[in-house]
Structure 1
Amino acid sequence: MTNLQGTVAVVTGGGRGIGREIALHQSRGGAKVAVLARTTREIEETAGLIGQEGGTAIAVAVDLVDTAAVEKALQNVVDALGEIDTLVNNHGSFRAFGPIWECDPQIWWGDVEINLRGTFNTSRVAAPAMLARGRGRIVNLVGGGTGTSFPNGSGYAASKAAIMRFTECLDDTTKAGGVRAFAVDPGLVRTAMTELQLNSDAGKAHLPNIQQLFDDGINVPPSRAAALIADIAAGRFDALAGRMLRGVDDRDSLERDMEAIAAQDGRALRISSLDLQSL
């Protein structure tokens, strides 16, 4: 088990699915965990599960789009558990399916705002405190559309690509001060979000490939991303800070390949060298 003794972790979107598994893995490694989301019942359930296993956790209900609320929530975490060592931005919204002219503009923008602004809001509070202590890790979850087109999922894809670039910028800004940022793609996991894609009329009409992927047996256990993030929190993959790691990765192979990935500038958003020559 990864050793996270003496650390404090914050997990957003921690009330269910991938976020709950991340929170449990952080606790099993020895971290004290703050579970954040809007739905009080769900985050209290996660905190309760951690308590049943002998861990320490608190549930903090917060709207991550509300800047002042995020500031207050993270201060409450520090007051209750201590300074934050690991921030995991797992929260996500994907409700706008279809061509942009068929999407409700408010729902489309809501996906972008929750995903991107929520990540910005937590990071802007946590990073300075981490820098003051000379250590810390921020993990931002990305996903479909990060590096490729996502037809009929443009809001989600745009937000995730932006989070990837945000992660790179953040890491380049903070790494000299001992704070590292990572992006993690958990892979296709069956969650409440994918259930909406599978069962809503808009999802069936515009994202039929999601059902096909599940039918083909592609369903990554949430424990894969959770175990990876626990290793990130422990420092195992610091050489890949600023880059994207994946839940489907074999972690031992990833560790062996770290130097080569960094040397090739892999796992990052980049314009090809050929394109750069034409600029």
Structure 2
Amino acid sequence: MADEAAVAGPVGVVPPARTALVTGASRGIGRALALGLARAGLDVALVARDADRLAEVAREVRDLGRTALELPADVTDAAAVAVAVRAAEAAPADGGLGGVDLLVNNAGRIDAEVPLWEADPDEWWSVLETNVRGPFLLARHVVPGMLARGGGRVVDLASGASLHEMVASSAYNASKTALLRLGAGLHEAGYARGLRAFELSPGTVATEMTAGMPMHAGRTEWTPVERSVEMVVAIASGDLDACSGWFVRVTHDTPESLSRLAARASAPAARRLRVQPAAADDPLAEVLTGR
């Protein structure tokens, strides 16, 4: 059973990542993660729609002495994703990285800050496509290669919105919650074969996206993007494999604190989504929280 494998501990050591594929890599958090991984010694495949900005980030990666692949693509386009992943997995002699050891699903969007009944249906679904279909497509094409090589790691950029209801931006709320289910499912299905999955909330980072959000108007305190870079680099190294399947939030967690917590974790569904019982004597209490 997958649950038994997760409780029993590592079934094998997965080597540190040598290569990474980062989506939404042309700006903001994605750019910072790509450069941070390059500084840590990884070669990086860069995916984003803006080819010009992607080329700039690629130059920065190469200036750090690492290989950078520019792979302009829309993460919601299944054919384009397949082409990008094939290019990343190609042998170095053919211009590829030879495989993807770490997938970082960073590309994302947010919808208008209105209640669900005022939301534009097309915008609403487009946000779901970027934030859920995109990570699904990338994992669908990258994970088989990881499993064939004995394992790999997937990081989804989740959110504090993954954990609670929002009165507005319902597409973003729903999509970031869905990511937690996708990541936990990858963990359950692939752990015994060397797959490790992490749902990472970067906090509220100053980016072009957050700058245009009314909810952050006037905000003066932001989460440093360096905290996310530190966490993803630690994940790439394998130091946090004991936290596979977890929701991680850099405003509260550090690689060191997570390592300590994992050593004494005992919850049957640590850091995962569960419906809470209504009271201590709720007849569904064990069903809701017992697995």
TM-score in same-fold range (> 0.5): yes
Instruction: Provide closer, same or farther for how the CA distance between residues 159 and 5 of structure 1 changes in structure 2, counting only shifts above 3 A.
Output: closer
Instruction: Provide closer, same or farther for how the CA distance between residues 55 and 147 of structure 1 changes in structure 2, counting only shifts above 3 A.
Output: same
* Match of residue 230 from structure 1: 233
Deviation per CA, 1:130-166: give whole Å up to 9, x if none: 1111110011110132010121121101000001111
Q: CA deviation at 1:266?
A: 2.9
1:268 aligns with 2:272: yes
Aligned AA (2:32): E
Instruction: Provide closer, same or farther for how the CA distance between residues 99 and 78 of structure 1 changes in structure 2, counting only shifts above 3 A.
Output: same
1:172 aligns with 2:178: no
Aligned AA (1:229): V
How far apart, CA to CA, are the structure 1 residues paired with 2:217 and 2:212?
Answer: 11
Q: Secondary structure at the residue paired with 1:81? A: coil
The answer (yes or no) to whether the contact 2:17–2:152 under 8 Å persists in 1 is no
Q: Which of residues 24, 37, 52 in structure 2 aligns to 1:41?
A: 52
Q: Which of residues 111, 132, 139 in structure 1 aligns to 2:127?
A: 111
The answer (yes or no) to whether the contact 1:240–1:262 under 8 Å persists in 2 is no
Q: CA deviation at 1:264?
A: 6.0
The answer (yes or no) to whether the contact 1:38–1:61 under 8 Å persists in 2 is yes
Q: Secondary structure at the residue paired with 1:113? A: helix
Q: Which of residues 256, 261, 285 in structure 2 aligns to 1:277?
A: 285
How far apart, CA to CA, are the structure 2 residues paired with 1:145 and 1:61?
Answer: 28
Deviation per CA, 1:106-125: give whole Å up to 9, x if none: 01111111100000000001
Q: Counterparts in 2 of 1:1-279, with a 5 A limit?
A: 7-79=18-90, 80-197=96-213, 203=214, 207=215, 210-211=216-217, 214-215=219-220, 217=221, 219-248=222-251, 249-261=253-265, 263=267, 265-272=269-276, 276-277=284-285
* Match of residue 10 from structure 2: none
* Match of residue 8 from structure 2: none
- What is the TM-score with the length of structure 2 in the denominator? 0.86
How far apart, CA to CA, are the structure 1 residues paired with 2:160 and 2:172?
Answer: 8
Aligned AA (1:233): A
Q: CA deviation at 1:278?
A: 7.9
How far apart, CA to CA, are the structure 2 residues paired with 1:278 and 1:261?
Answer: 19
Deviation per CA, 1:9-49: give whole Å up to 9, x if none: 00000111111111011111111101101111111111111
Runs of 4+ in 1 over 4 A off after TM superposition: none
User: Structure 2: which 5+ residue stretches go unaligned?
Assistant: 1-14, 91-95
Q: Tell me the percent identity.
A: 38
How far apart, CA to CA, are the structure 2 residues paired with 1:108 and 1:144?
Answer: 19
How far apart, CA to CA, are the structure 2 residues paired with 1:254 and 1:44?
Answer: 35
Q: How many positions carry a matched residue from both structures?
A: 263
Instruction: Provide closer, same or farther for how the CA distance between residues 270 and 260 of structure 1 changes in structure 2, counting only shifts above 3 A.
Output: farther
RMSD: 1.8
Aligned AA (1:86): L
- What is the TM-score with the length of structure 1 in the denominator? 0.89
Aligned AA (1:131): L
Instruction: Provide closer, same or farther for how the CA distance between residues 256 and 5 of structure 1 changes in structure 2, counting only shifts above 3 A.
Output: closer
Q: Secondary structure at the residue paired with 2:275? A: coil
Instruction: Provide closer, same or farther for how the CA distance between residues 178 and 262 of structure 1 changes in structure 2, counting only shifts above 3 A.
Output: farther
Q: CA deviation at 1:261?
A: 3.4
Q: Which moved more, 1:90-99 or 1:185-194?
A: 90-99
The answer (yes or no) to whether the contact 1:23–1:33 under 8 Å persists in 2 is yes
